[in-house]
């Protein structure tokens, strides 16, 4: 289940508090011109000072060479094997939009696309149709009704939208209709096993109705469906770790993921400052806090080295507030690397700090990829981070007699 099979037996309830700060896209790579990464370039007096009083290491999010999406990157940090505990694309997209999914609902990631008169796909993304235009097409499709199943539609970015099926006896084992390439017709949404017959029929009926409604639309005249998924029934952090865990994240997707893992979602605002307000005011009520910092990833994805440096410096300025809470274990981790020179998530190991009463004197000179590589934690799978957090907070009993 969780990384260590006896975790439930050795986890114990204590008053100790854990704060896990996840810096999205934390890891970087050197600019060829300077040989220095974003963390090495940024001025981070508070994180560097913390690194000197912390245990440091590097985490491998999934496996060597494997670049994680945000889903696997986060589930791993909470101790769940990201290969085994994989959230479906439809659910993740729905969670990202803040859509509430009930047990049994099937969330489906859909694209607007274009087809020619013969039904052959000519553009799988309908020319990356602008958001406003897509929203009006989603509105148009809201009139579609399918007997026995409730449909709800949610516009996402550009050509993407989410279709949610609600009703009895819905499965997710339905053929994805996107052939993955142009020049082919869409694949029929047939059921791939018995329990998914109703879902397949509903998707088929929806697509047929959508094609009729979109016929003659200049921007997109067809839809493709994939990533059929349901909110998974995973072991909860409450039961596995004997925690009362809470999540503080500005973006819906991270809140959605956290709720799947059993965390209570604390309502918060858009900025890290407001997230810290939320943390301070809820600090007495929980013993584990996941707090999410997004701007480093966004800058990295944009390929903007200087913006990522600034995002890290802005984070650094907030570290004293985090330290002032006096958590028994403070973890600073990242879900994956997003080097500006790659302008994308990558597979590279991610810096990690764990600060507790047992780490003073154990430090590395600064909070960078290279310094953390020399730290006492070494290079570990990201699933080990949660174990270190629990252990440093005194929440894990000895294993075995």
Contacts to its own copies by CB under 8 A: 3-6, 10, 29-36, 58, 62-72, 82-83, 86-89, 92-93, 227, 339, 341-342, 344-349, 358, 360-362, 369-370, 373-374, 376-381, 384, 386-391, 396-401
Print the SS3 string covering 267-327: CCCCCHHHHHHHHHHHCCCCCEEEEEECHHHHHHHCCCHHHHHHHHHHHHHHHHHHHHCCC
Q: Which is nearer to its own copies, 274 or 357 (CB)?
A: 357
Rounded least distance, CB 69 to its own copies, Å: 4
- Cβ proximity to its own copies, 62 vs 246, nearer residue: 62
Least distance (Å) between residue 92 CB and its own copies: 4
- Tell me which H or E stretch contains 211: helix 197-214
Comparing CB distances to its own copies, the nearer of 204 and 349 is 349
Closest separation in Å from C-beta 346 to its own copies: 7
How many other β-carbons are positioned within 10 Å of the β-carbon of residue 6? 12
For the bound state, the minimum distance from the C-beta of residue 83 to its own copies, rounded and expressed in Å, comes to: 6
Please report how close the Cβ of residue 68 comes to its own copies at its closest, in angstroms.
6
Q: Which residues of 237-251 are buried (b: 16+ CB within 10 A; e: fewer)?
A: beebbbbebbbbbbb
Six token digits for residue 163: 């279709």
Cβ 388 to its own copies shortest distance, Å: 4
SS (H, E, C) 5-27: CCHHHHECCCCCCEEEEEECCEE
Instruction: Using the minimum distance from each CB to its own copies, give the nearer residue, 262 or 349.
Output: 349
The CB-of-144 to its own copies minimum distance in angstroms stands at 25
162, β-bridge pairs: 109, 154
Tokens of 143: 């009139």
Looking at the Cβ atoms of 67 and 197, the one nearer to its own copies is: 67
Q: Residues 29, 37: contact at Cβ < 8 Å?
A: yes
Residue number with CB closer to its own copies (3 or 123): 3
Residue among 11, 78, 71, 19 nearest 261 (CA): 78
**Residue with smaller CB distance to its own copies, 230 or 346:** 346
Question: Could you count the other beta carbons within 10 Å of the beta carbon of residue 173?
Answer: 14
């Amino acid at each position: 289940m969780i990384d260590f099979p006896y975790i439930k037996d050795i986890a114990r309830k204590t008053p100790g508090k854990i704060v896990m700060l996840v810096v999205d896209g934390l890891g970087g790579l050197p600019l060829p011109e300077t040989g220095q990464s974003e963390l090495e370039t940024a001025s981070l007096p508070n994180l560097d000072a913390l690194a000197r009083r912390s245990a440091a290491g590097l985490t491998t999010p999934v496996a060597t060479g494997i670049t994680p999406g945000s889903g696997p990157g986060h589930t791993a940090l909470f101790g769940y094997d990201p290969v085994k505990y994989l959230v479906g694309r439809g659910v993740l997209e729905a969670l990202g939009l803040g859509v509430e999914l009930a047990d049994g609902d099937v969330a489906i990631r859909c694209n607007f696309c274009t087809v020619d008169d013969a039904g052959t796909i000519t553009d799988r993304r309908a020319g990356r149709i602008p958001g406003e235009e897509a929203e009006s097409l989603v509105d148009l499709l809201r009139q579609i009704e399918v007997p026995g199943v409730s449909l709800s539609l949610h516009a996402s970015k550009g050509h993407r939208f989410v279709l949610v099926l609600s009703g009895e006896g819905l499965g997710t084992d339905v053929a994805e209709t996107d052939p993955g390439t142009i020049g082919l017709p869409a694949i029929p949404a047939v059921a791939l096993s018995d329990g998914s017959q109703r879902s397949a029929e509903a998707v088929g009926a929806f697509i047929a109705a959508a094609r009729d409604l979109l016929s003659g639309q200049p921007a997109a005249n067809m839809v493709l469906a994939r990533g059929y998924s349901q909110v998974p029934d995973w072991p909860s952090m409450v039961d596995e770790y004997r925690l009362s865990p809470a999540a503080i994240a500005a973006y819906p997707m991270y809140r959605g993921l956290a709720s799947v893992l059993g965390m209570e979602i604390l309502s918060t605002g858009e900025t890290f400052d407001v997230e810290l307000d939320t943390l301070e005011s809820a600090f007495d009520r929980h013993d584990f806090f996941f707090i999410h910092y997004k701007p480093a990833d966004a800058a990295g994805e944009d390929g903007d080295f200087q913006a990522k440096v600034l995002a890290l410096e802005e984070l650094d300025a907030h570290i004293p507030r985090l330290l002032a809470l006096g958590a028994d274990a403070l973890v600073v981790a990242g879900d994956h690397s997003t080097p500006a020179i790659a302008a994308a998530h990558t597979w590279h190991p991610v810096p990690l700090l764990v600060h507790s009463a047992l780490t003073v004197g154990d430090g590395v000179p600064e909070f960078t990829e290279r310094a953390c590589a020399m730290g006492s934690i070494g290079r570990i799978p990201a699933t080990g981070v949660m174990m270190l957090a629990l252990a440093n907070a005194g929440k894990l009993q000895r294993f075995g007699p």
